[in-house]
Chains A and B, each alone.
Chain A
Amino acid sequence: MKAKKILQKLTPYGFLAPAVLIFALALFYPVFYSIRLSFFNWRLVEVYRKAPEFVGIQNYIKIIQSPAFQTSLKVTAIFITITLATELIVGLGLALLAERKIKGLHLFRTIFLLPIMVAPVVVGVLWRFMFNPNYGLVNYFLGLLGFENVLWLSKPFPALTAVILTDIWQWTPFVFLMLLAGLQNVPEDVLEASIVDGASYVQRLRHVKLPMIKSIIGLTIVLRLIDGLRALVVMYVMTNGGPGRATEVLSLHIYKKAFVSRRLGEASTLAVFLIIILLIVSTLLFQFFNTERRTSA
């Protein structure tokens, strides 16, 4: 009887074991390994020839001082801020448009799902083509409107703009779908009550709807932030981080440090910075929206 009880106690751990094992081997250990390697000097070519050489916090000093790292931080910050702000505003606007029961809503939702589903490599390819200075459609339409040819991907500012526009194209639909789901979940009676109160549309939006979906907006921001910090494929395909380092976000900088500059130790240091940023940003946001939720509830 007792043995059976112990066995029963162990059952949940048995069910969890495979997952835990995989997490340990392919996520925990690698992250731990990265943190450790960030204190070592190791070149890619030495991987099977030489053990890493311990250098203390030298990598950290070097990275903090390196202009490339500073640039990548700046680019990442600009990229995330602008994409997030635009996606939120446009996504919310569209969600408010589609929120009322309208015909064909499902078709719209299906169409908006497409950019989210398509591979980032494909997104990179198709926008690289769209932004081609000579036969790309973006310049063609700008030309019709009387603008001059823009050298989208070969000048720093336009290149960053192009990458940002691409992200907006791909992810505004996600914000739209999230917020739409949230809006549709706002109970009818609350809205009806406010209409009876004679509140205007803007008043209803400010005082009823937005507060009701505040936590969803928060979740959307967190998810987009995490994704923003992961993004690198579209840049890799469209500009490879260039021209110069104009579109080299932190994630891409890590890849290039490891497999183009072939410095594994410094790449790991960069990875540690990325993890730290991720933790700070998400903790702050979670906290912010959790307290918001409590006070508003």
Chain B
Amino acid sequence: MHNKAKLLIILVVALGIFAGSFSLVIADSHEFDWRQFEGETIVASFPAHKAYNHWVDMLPKFEEKTGIEVQVDQMNYGKMSTTQTLEMSKPNGDYDLISMVGPLSKAKYAQAGYLEPLGPMMENESISYPDWDFDDFVDKLVTTQGKVCLTCKGKNIYLGGGEGSDTKLYAVPASSEVSVFAYRKDLFEEYGLVEPKTFEDVLELSEFFAKNVDGVYGLTMRGKAGHQAGHGTLNLLKPFGGEIFTEDWEPAFTSENALDTLRYFKKIVEYGPPGIPSFGAGGNDNAFLQGKAAMYLDHSRIASLVRDPEQSKVKGKVAYTTIPKRKGIEDTTVAETGGFGIAIPANAGETDKKAAFLLMQWMTSKKVERELMTEYGVQIVDRESLMKEPELQEQFPEYKVMAHQVKLADPAWRPAIPEWPEIETEYFGIAVNKVLTGRKEPEKAMEDIVKPVREIMEEAGYYE
């Protein structure tokens, strides 16, 4: 009996030493251990969105590689924060990896303490996939989707606040978007027009189409009261040299440049397809896809929609170019950035967090993202190296413009603060819509919302 026990102990110790040295060898040769969390089950909260649908399609490969089971809770992206907030408020939430509308949710979540900072995990060599190549992500997108500096003062606190020591990474980009300018090359050729370089050109071209081409109008934008009209305005505001807030968080939308933006937007509505004041993202896309608008300035996703014969009447008739500038305001070609980032909830189990980190790295690895593009036609702009590949540039004609555009992206194109959605939906976007529908003059509309906006900012402590 005793002997047997002794033998067993010796055997175990020997095995341990053997395994230990073996794993040392593995570590030395940088052989990454994908199977260290075999048997774990993790739960991901993803949007019902093209890129994620195909990521989910590819998940069996991850499960086979790692032995980790992944369960996915997919829903409309606008509803994700409903269930995510509930789950992340519990001591043991359901989710181990969440996708979120990065620029807005990350600030809100990080401030509430819902998210796990990624830094320590990235430093932990045993779970860091050596070929992940984090530096390959487009810098500005990493900032937009993932960086938060909770203790920083000043305007860009939720964008990392410069690169202060308190800036933490909470999420990595996973299907970002940038804004892009698209136009109907067939019509431009037919009427001998040149692609616009400035917003003055855009207005002239809009007038031309509205007056001379039957059933086709100029630039289409979103102008529906609330978030959508706010979003539409922001497409123009920065290029026009306007701002929402000053450095000290005082409302800046009453400045001359901001009012100029609104007057311009109003003219665009006049020459644009009917219904801009009621267009949300879908209506705006549809106007262009159905051939009612000759020009388009919004998210890059439009390129994949144009290619989809089920939704588009303009397949093969569209060209892309850099977003125009405003005359006299040179250096400000600006793109909006948006889309999704993925993060790990702070209340996930310790092992689950690590397993989720593996999934995060796998999903956003070059190999998987490349496959997403070549196999499923999903447009990914998160990685520099992919955008430079000639083969991919051929498959995605918009890619060349976007590779350039994404570098001009300004993560601060909208105030990346938790209060912005409320301000935009309830005040700014409604005031803009009043201007677009002619119910208020720009000056009046903007002045009327200074007070309520200041109140929100004051309550949130921006003026202390």
Contacts and interface: CB of A to CB of B under 8 A. Distances in A.
Interface of A: 43-45, 47-49, 67, 133-134, 149, 151, 154-156, 242-245, 259-260, 262
A200 B418 CA distance: 66
A151 B223 CA distance: 12
B283 A45 contact: no
A277 B452 CA distance: 28
B156 interface: no
A133 B277 CA distance: 12
B113 A134 contact: no
Contact of A242 (B82, B86, B91, B425): B425
A45 B225 contact: no
A15 B27 CA distance: 69
Contacts of B89: 44-45, 47-48, 262
A262 B425 CA distance: 18
A249 B440 CA distance: 27
Given A45-B89, A48-B90, A151 B426 contact: no
Contact of B85 (A44, A49, A149, A155): A44
A45 B280 CA distance: 32
B272 to A, nearest CB: 16
Contacts of A67: 452
Query: Is the contact region of chain B dominated by helix, strand, or loop, or is it mixed?
Result: helix
Contact of A45 (B113, B277, B430): B113
Contacts of A47: 89-90
A44 B225 CA distance: 30
B72 to A, nearest CB: 23
Contacts of A262: 85, 89, 112
Contacts of A48: 89-91
Size class of the contact patch on chain B: 20 to 34
Given A244-B426, A245-B426, A262-B112, A154 B90 contact: no
Nearest to B346: A45
A243 B424 CA distance: 11
Contacts of B332: none
Contacts of A133: 275, 278
A259 B278 contact: no
Interface string B203-238: 000000000000000000000111000000000000
Contacts of A260: 85
A284 B329 CA distance: 65
B425 A244 contact: yes
Given A45-B112, A243-B226, A244-B425, A151 B86 contact: no
B225 A43 contact: no
B114 interface: yes
Interface in B84-126: 85-86, 88-91, 112-114
A140 B224 CA distance: 20
Contacts of A242: 226, 425
Contacts of B82: 259
A132 to B, nearest CB: 10
A151 B90 CA distance: 39
Given A245-B426, A260-B85, 17 more contacts: A44-B112, A45-B88, A45-B114, A47-B90, A67-B452, A134-B278, A149-B275, A151-B224, A154-B224, A154-B226, A155-B225, A243-B430, A244-B225, A244-B226, A244-B425, A244-B427, A262-B89
Given A43-B112, A45-B114, A149-B275, A259 B224 contact: no
Contacts of B225: 151, 154-156, 243-244
Contact of B277 (A151, A245, A259): A151
A244 B90 CA distance: 30
A27 B82 CA distance: 25
B269 to A, nearest CB: 14
20 contacts: A43-B112, A44-B89, A44-B112, A45-B89, A45-B112, A45-B113, A45-B114, A48-B90, A48-B91, A133-B275, A134-B283, A149-B275, A151-B278, A154-B224, A154-B278, A243-B226, A244-B427, A245-B426, A259-B86, A262-B85
Interface string B131-171: 00000000000000000000000000000000000000000
A133 B276 CA distance: 12
Contacts of B113: 45, 49
A260 B104 CA distance: 14
Nearest to B91: A48
Contacts of B280: 154
A251 B233 CA distance: 33
A262 to B, nearest CB: 7
Given A48-B90, A151-B224, A151-B278, A259 B430 contact: no
Interface string B422-451: 000111001000000000000000000000
B29 to A, nearest CB: 43
Nearest to B422: A261
B443 to A, nearest CB: 21
A73 to B, nearest CB: 17
Interface string B304-317: 00000000000000
A155 B113 CA distance: 35
